[in-house]
Amino acid sequence: MPIQVLINLFIGFLWMFFQDSWSALTFLGGYTFGLLVIFILRRFFPTKFYLFTLYAALRLFLIFMYELFMSSILVIRKIITPKINIKPGIFSFKTTLESDIEVTLLALLITLTPGSVVMEISSDNKILYVHTMDMPELSIAVIQSMDRFEEAIKKVTRND
């Protein structure tokens, strides 16, 4: 992916040079032309077209923001009740992610959402041990979040 970005920037600057106009609009025209060239030649690169990866990363960010908002609402609902009736607990979650960066990203995203913390990851990176604030209710929400995160992480990190 980085080579595609560099080539695209080079085409944008080369376009400005050939047009003999050093403005942002000329660069934008060259950058757009570079996108078209790289899209046409994408099968010659070992990675997928970088705009697809940027779209997947933006989608992962929006999924995280949605999950952050929804889990915050659940936690606030639990906290503001007059009698706090929570049952904290730990459960294990088997992941289908393979690389260290994928598992780490999943663990960080789950830890950043309120009401859950990844306590430990097994030595083979296949099982995550997650502590939740309220075992029956929040653990279901955490598992659903983890499934959504897994699919989005795969789209960002893999060349499928």
Which residues is 127 bridged to in the sheet? Answer: 94
Q: How many residues does the chain have?
A: 160
pLDDT given for residue 113 in this prediction: 86
Instruction: Please tell me whether residues 150 and 84 are part of one structural domain.
Output: yes
Instruction: State the residue range of the domain holding 117.
Output: 50-157
Residue 54 and residue 76 in one domain? yes
Radius of gyration of the CA atoms of the chain, in A:
22
Same domain, 90 and 67: yes
Are 85 and 10 within one domain?
no
pLDDT of residue 122: 92
Encode the chain (160 residues) as per-residue pLDDT tens digits.
Answer: 688 999 999 999 999 999 988 899 999 999 999 999 999 998 898 888 889 999 999 999 999 999 999 888 988 888 888 888 888 889 898 999 989 999 999 999 999 988 889 999 999 999 999 998 888 777 788 888 889 999 999 999 987 6
Q: Kindly state whether residues 149 and 94 are assigned to the same domain.
A: yes
Task: Report the distance separating Cα 15 and Cα 28, nearest Å.
Answer: 9
Statement to judge: residues 60 and 31 lie in one domain: no
Q: Please count the structural domains in the chain.
A: 2
CB contact at 8 A, 156 and 53:
yes
pLDDT at 160: 66
Residue 18 exposure: Cα atoms within 13 Å on the Cβ side: 8
Residues 66 and 40 in one domain: no
Do 91 and 26 have their domain in common?
no
Token pair belonging to 31? 């950058």
d(CA 94, CA 68): 22
CA-to-CA dists, residue 52 to 34, 35, 86, 155, 158, angstroms = 15, 12, 42, 9, 11
Judge if 38 and 97 occupy the same domain.
Answer: no
Same domain, 31 and 93: no
Asked if 79 and 55 sit in the same domain, the reply is: yes
What's the rounded Cα separation, in Å, for the pair 141 and 113?
11
User: Which pTM value belongs to this model?
Assistant: 0.82
